[in-house]
Amino acid sequence: MNNDLSIHYSHLEQCSDEIFLEIFKYISLHDLYHGFYKLNQHINNILHSITELSLILDKPEDINDEAVCFFASRIYHLIVRHSSVVHFNRFPSLRSLISLFPCDRQLRHIKTKDLPNLTHLTLGFTVIWDCEISVRLCRRIISNKFPKLRYCSLWPPAFDINMSVIKTPLLTHIELKEGNFDDLCVVLNSCPNLKYLQMLVSIYAKAPSKHVEILSVTRLDVSFIRRDPNWIEKFDQLLSLLPNIKRLFIDICVIHIDFNQLSRILKQRLIHLHYLQCKIHAIAFPIKINNIQQYHPLFKNIDLKEIDNNDCRCGGIKLCLNGQRKE
């Protein structure tokens, strides 16, 4: 028995560093530390060379775990599932930060000098008492203070519409949850290479008061607050800011929809549109389903589905439209 164990142990020792690194990709950070650290110098050296690690902080005290302290400088991806303070300067290599429940205390520690390599930032629903903290962070995001940032998701965004425009060239994908159109104008004018916009339009959104100079966005995913009575007017105002959209994804939950009006807005605002996907949740539809195709050339494929509770709680049906124009 002992001889068999020693044989297996000697074979494990002979594995190359590359094999260990491949195996360790499938083992959690905590299990790596508590299961392998201090076994021998060879393993220790490999553990010290590992990068691109991921970490989830469920509780405030998780950050003081021995494994977290050991690997902190090599953690690339961090998810925070609590609203307490996190000293992000402990993770200087961080590329991706997702905070699900950020509040004032946590936002204060998202600093440019501590996160120089950040490329992806996602902030869940932000509960704050001091609005200026959120405004300052949003200002840094679109003022190129995070010079490597490529993706950002904010809920809700809080931009100073009177701020001076400083170009943020690498930001190509942004998500604004419950955003208004003045927030969007600030983003568009600050991000010359923005290509992909996702937006949940605020129920309080009003017509934009700012002029847009940069028209780089070519893909739009848009949704509206459930049963927003003014969604179609807001949709029109939104598209007026984004005339170069080529790919459009719409998700709406309404009581009534006028396909003729929807088609007219698409034809007027988006002359470059070549792909459309539209999901409409409604109590009922006022026209025969087969007649919808006549309103717009991209209303080609129609699929009618029952709505389950996980999809929408309006108690109606879901109509899916999609179509693609040949270039």
pLDDT at 215: 94
Q: How far apart are CA 145 and CA 289, in angstroms?
A: 50
Q: How far apart are CA 259 and CA 299, in angstroms?
A: 10
| pLDDT tens digits, one per residue of 100-116 | 999 999 999 999 999 99
| pLDDT tens digits, one per residue of 24-53 | 999 999 999 999 999 889 999 999 999 999
Asked if residue 309 has pLDDT above 60, the reply is no
Mean pLDDT, to the nearest integer, of 2-8? 49
CA distances from 185 to 11, 88, 139, 144, 162 (A): 62, 30, 13, 17, 11
Q: How far apart are CA 200 and CA 158, in angstroms?
A: 14
Residues 156, 232, 162, CA angle at the centre, nearest 5°?
40
| pLDDT tens digits, one per residue of 223-271 | 999 989 999 999 999 999 999 999 999 999 988 889 999 999 999 999 9
Give this prediction's pTM. Answer: 0.91
Task: Name, in order, each residue with C-beta under 8 angstroms of 297's C-beta and a sequence gap of 6 or more.
Answer: 323, 325
Task: Name, in order, each residue with C-beta under 8 angstroms of 239's C-beta and a sequence gap of 6 or more.
Answer: 245, 265, 266, 269, 270
Task: Name, in order, each residue with C-beta under 8 angstroms of 288's C-beta and a sequence gap of 6 or more.
Answer: none
Q: Which two tokens stand for residue 40?
A: 């021998």
Domain boundaries in the chain?
Answer: 1-48, 218-327
Phi, psi (deg, nearest 5) at residue 269:
-90, -35
37 in Cβ contact with 69 (< 8 Å):
no
| pLDDT tens digits, one per residue of 142-162 | 999 999 999 999 999 999 998
256 in Cβ contact with 228 (< 8 Å):
no
Q: How far apart are CA 153 and CA 122, in angstroms?
A: 5
Q: How far apart are CA 38 and CA 5, in angstroms?
A: 19
Position 190 confidence tier, pLDDT thresholds 50, 70, 90: very high
Q: How far apart are CA 285 and CA 321, in angstroms?
A: 13
